Amino acid sequence: MAVAPATPPPLARRLRDAQLLRTDLFVDGAWAEAADGRRFDVRDPASGEVVASVAAGTRDDARRALEAAARSLPAWSALPAKERSAVLRRWFEAIVDAADDLAAILTAEQGKPLGEARAEVLYGASFVEWYAEEAKRVYGETIPANTADRRMLVLRQPIGVCAAITPWNFPTAMITRKAGPALAAGCTMVVKPASATPLSALALAELASRVGLPDGVFSVVPGAASVVAEELVTSPLVRKVTFTGSTEVGKALMERCAGSVKKVSLELGGNAPLIVFDDADLDVAVEGAIASKFRNTGQTCVCANRLLVQEGIHDRFVERLADAVAELRVGNGFDDGVDQGPLIDRAAVEKVEEHVRDAVDHGAVVVCGGRPHELGGCFYEPTVLRGVTPEMRIAHEETFGPVAPVFRFASEDEAVELANATPYGLAAYVFTRDVARVWRVSEALEAGVVAVNTGIFSYEGAPFGGVKESGIGREGSHHGIAEFLEIKYVCLGAIDRDSSRGA
Ligand code: SIN
């Protein structure tokens, strides 16, 4: 059912605190125009209207931010962990207090429904809270030495200046999931947010400066990837690059980082299988499939991309899924009762259209949806396809849209083989009531995350990340902070000598 798009008033008027709507660069603790004065437009994907005009950082701006990050590093990393923790805790509280405004900014630039945007803001805040606590638990080690006159220990120290290149699908949470652990570890960071969604990043910077994060510790430089990101990945000042985005771009960044042997964390594309076995609870499976597939209009790296359904439950599952999908309300994220907002841009809609067309041309059947939505623009109907087979494009490319393609399988072995038949390995979902099968299949799936009988698994205390071409490293949990720490082995010799005697 369609909800007519409202004409939104200018974003600032929606906000309780209009100062959160920042449009300049945040460099070294201050707001600044781009060095060459250029700006770019940020558009609301629901209406196509310009939400704000944002400073487009230059290489010089990015360099300035990195130099500030390098200058502030010694003092920030030397601060007792408890004090870094206290600043991060204040940042967390400020984000939570401003959640309604941050959600409105997020919906205006990204399109997701306001409730979902608010949930993202709180999810984003949870990383800052969690790592504020974890800052105090960066422990070293002692090692039993190999000789009597030695002592051996391991220090864990901040890597140094970090650069984060972040995506538009989670404009808040993908920044805090990187900045939280980096800052807690004692690193400093420069963020280049996606050009579609810089406003959420700049609002986070405004809050960071209000809570007393020292100048230079956290800078935000929006701008073209070929300009700002290029400086970040090639600068000798940067020791670590953390990126969320496509596998294609991740590979290119990794190559650029090789020049100065930077460490990298990459959260890349996925092609998540969602397997429903005959013995699954049908209600749980349908609910999980909707949650996983249609969250954020199908635009998450962990959205189910292929629904593999065993033949005994297949027809009932497809019918129930299609009934539930047909109930999803599509519209402007600011309108009440909307479940699904627009896609991010026209190119995203075109990719979805191509995948559906290709599947239908090769024999798939549209059970519901299957067309651009009557609202036009970037809206697409929530869609279910049946009769999907591995030859179709939708089977091996990430659709990143609201399309649930259903495949049929006969045996457990076939399901695992189909699931793993992809170069990606981020998330996988399994629906079954057989505990032995839960173990067998979870162990056999090539994925960084396996969710069993649920479509939602993200949590700040659990490790998120992929295997194969889905990435390197983990975010969230104590593994997430390890990504921003170096290990230093200290070997202390001659401790049996009394050095005062030689004097
Ligand atoms: C992503 O799509 O990369 C993030 C999804 C999540 O954190 O749940």
Distance CA 418, CA 342 (A): 31
pLDDT score of 297: 98
Q: How far apart are CA 476 and CA 174, in angstroms?
A: 11
Cα-to-centroid distance, 174 and ligand 1 (Å):
8
Whether 300 is in the pocket of ligand 1, judged by its Cβ within 6 Å, is yes
Residue located nearest, by CA, to atom 6 of ligand 1: 458
Report residue 468: phi and psi, to 5°: 50, -135
Rounded Cα–Cα distance for residues 185 and 79 (Å): 11
pLDDT in tens, the chain (503 residues): 445 554 545 899 999 999 999 999 999 999 999 999 999 999 999 999 999 999 999 999 999 999 999 999 999 999 999 999 999 999 999 999 999 999 999 999 999 999 999 999 999 999 999 999 999 999 999 999 999 999 999 999 999 999 999 999 999 999 999 999 999 999 999 999 999 999 999 999 999 999 999 999 999 999 999 999 999 999 999 999 999 999 999 999 999 999 999 999 999 999 999 999 999 999 999 999 999 999 999 999 999 999 999 999 999 999 999 999 999 999 999 999 999 999 999 999 999 999 999 999 999 999 999 999 999 999 999 999 999 999 999 999 999 999 999 999 999 999 999 999 999 999 999 999 999 999 999 999 999 999 999 999 999 999 999 999 999 999 999 999 999 999 999 999 999 988 776 55
Residues in the chain: 503
- Ligand 1 centre to CA of 302 (Å) is 6
**Residue at token pair 């990043």:** 201
Q: Could you tell me which residues are beta bridge partners of residue 304?
A: 272
Other CB atoms within 10 Å distance of the CB of residue 113: 24
CA of 212 to the centre of ligand 1 (A): 29
Of all protein residues, the one whose alpha carbon is nearest to atom 7 of ligand 1 is 458
Q: Which residues pair with 183 in a beta bridge?
A: none
Those residues whose C-beta lies under 8 Å from the C-beta of residue 197, and which sit 6 or more positions away, are 42, 106, 109, 110, 168, 171
- CA of residue 110 to ligand 1 center, whole Å: 15
Residue 1's pLDDT is what? 46
Instruction: Enumerate residues 6+ apart whose C-beta is below 8 A from 41.
Output: 50, 52, 53, 54
Cα atoms in the Cβ-side hemisphere of radius 13 Å centred on 189: 30
Task: For residue 299, give the ligand 1 atom closest to its CA.
Answer: 2
Minimum-distance ligand 1 atom for the alpha carbon of 177: 7
Q: Residues 349, 355, 359, 365: is their CA dihedral positive or negative?
A: negative
Distance (Å) from CA 100 to ligand 1 centroid: 21
Alpha helices (H) along 335-444 = 346-361, 393-396, 412-420, 435-444
Output the six-digit token pair for 63.
């360099």
Ligand 1 atom with minimal separation from the 302 CA? 2
For ligand 1, say whether the CB of 301 is within 6 Å of any of its atoms.
yes
What's the chain's Rg over C-alpha atoms?
A: 24
Top mutation candidate among 458, 475, 477 for ligand 1, by most atoms within 8 Å of CB? 458
Cβ–ligand 1 distance for 169 under 6 Å, the answer: yes
* Residues in Cβ contact with 378 at an 8 Å cutoff, skipping those fewer than 6 apart: 45, 46, 48, 111, 342, 343, 344, 345, 346, 348, 349
Distance of CA 301 from the midpoint of ligand 1 (Å):
6
For 282, the enclosing helix (H) or strand (E) is helix 282-294
Q: Which of 121, 122, 166, 174 to mutate to test the pocket of ligand 1 (most atoms within 8 A of CB)?
A: 174
Residues marked active site are found at 267, 301
Query: Which pLDDT score is estimated for 8?
Result: 44
User: What is the whole-number distance in angstroms between the Cα of residue 300 and the centre of ligand 1?
Assistant: 6
Q: Give the ligand 1 atom nearest the CA of 173.
A: 7
pLDDT score, position 10: 86
Q: Can you spell out the DSSP letters for 47-73?
A: T--EEEEEE---HHHHHHHHHHHHHHH
Between CA 245 and CA 265 the distance in angstroms is: 11
Residues 6+ apart with CB under 8 A from 467: 425, 426, 446, 447, 448
Ligand 1 pocket check for 458: Cβ under 6 Å? yes
CB of 302 within 6 A of ligand 1: the answer is yes
Give the residue, by CA position, lying nearest to ligand 1 atom 5.
300
d(C-alpha 11, C-alpha 4), whole Å = 19
pLDDT of residue 498: 81
Structural contact between residues 470 and 125, judged by C-beta atoms closer than 8 angstroms: no
Distance between Cα 217 and ligand 1 center (Å)? 25
| Helix, strand, coil % over all residues of the chain, rounded to 5 | 40, 20, 35
Written as six digits, the tokens of 35 are: 């060095």
Ligand 1 atom closest to Cα of residue 244: 3
Residue nearest to atom 3 of ligand 1 (CA): 301
- Locate the ligand 1 atom nearest the alpha carbon of residue 303 and give its number: 2
Token pair 């695992």 is found at 416
CB 244 near ligand 1, within 6 Å = yes
Whole-angstrom distance, CA of residue 288 vs CA of residue 354: 26
Closest residue CA from atom 8 of ligand 1: 458
